[in-house]
């Protein structure tokens, strides 16, 4: 599918829908490569997917609402995947940048579950870097989203567990648990 859409994008470089489908094909190829533990190749295809989405002129006046919404969502997913890979390989600053970009897009589509999850990941990254204030800040965002929207209970457990770990690491041994 990826090669097919690659040839279509070459023939019709200004067609937003073909470019979007090419981006999706690149993304799913990256997911498959990631599952095969071919991380560098997967990372390249995630970037290729993101780059092709950046070539779509996202203007609500000339782009259909559906394509606009799908592109925003898909771009957020790509940034999240890139952020996760960078986090797993201890490239924390770049991971923070990617996850922050994803969050900005998830805010546009009001995806609270993804926002909560990504703020938990940011809290973990900041905690690993001993930036406890930012870790607690992102945990409070995730917790607020959870309380307001009563979303995924497993995320709530993660929030509490990570908060206890951060509190313990900054010296609140009794209060953490």
Q: Is residue 85 pLDDT above 90, yes or no? A: yes
Alpha-carbon distances of 173 from 50, 129, 165, 170, rounded to whole Å: 43, 19, 9, 8
pLDDT at 166: 73
Paired tokens of 31:
């997911």
**Residue 27 or residue 62, greater confidence:** 27
pLDDT, mean over the chain = 82
In the block, which residue shows the tokens 């969502």? 73
Tens of pLDDT, residue by residue over 121-177, are 999 899 888 898 998 899 889 888 877 776 666 666 777 777 777 776 666 656 544
pLDDT at 14: 63
Question: CB-based contacts of 78: which residues, under 8 Å, 6+ apart?
Answer: 27, 46, 49, 50, 53
pLDDT at 27: 93
Q: Please report, rounded to a whole number, the percentage of residues in the chain having pLDDT higher than 90.
A: 43
């Amino acid at each position: 599918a990826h090669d097919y859409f690659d040839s279509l994008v070459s023939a019709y470089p200004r067609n937003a829908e073909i470019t979007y489908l090419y981006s999706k094909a690149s993304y799913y190829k990256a997911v498959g490569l990631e599952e095969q533990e071919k991380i560098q190749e997967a990372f390249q295809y995630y970037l290729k997917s993101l780059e092709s989405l950046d070539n779509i002129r996202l203007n609500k006046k000339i782009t259909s609402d559906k394509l606009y919404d799908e592109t925003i969502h898909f771009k957020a997913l790509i940034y999240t995947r890139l952020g996760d890979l960078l986090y797993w390989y201890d490239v924390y600053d770049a991971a923070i940048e990617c996850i922050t970009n994803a969050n900005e897009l998830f805010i546009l589509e009001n995806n609270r579950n993804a926002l909560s999850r990504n703020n938990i990941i940011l809290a973990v990254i900041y905690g690993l870097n001993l930036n406890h204030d930012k870790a607690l800040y992102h945990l409070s965002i995730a917790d607020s989203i959870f309380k307001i929207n009563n979303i995924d209970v497993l995320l709530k457990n993660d929030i509490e567990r990570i908060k206890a770990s951060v509190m313990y690491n900054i010296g609140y041994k009794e209060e953490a648990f």
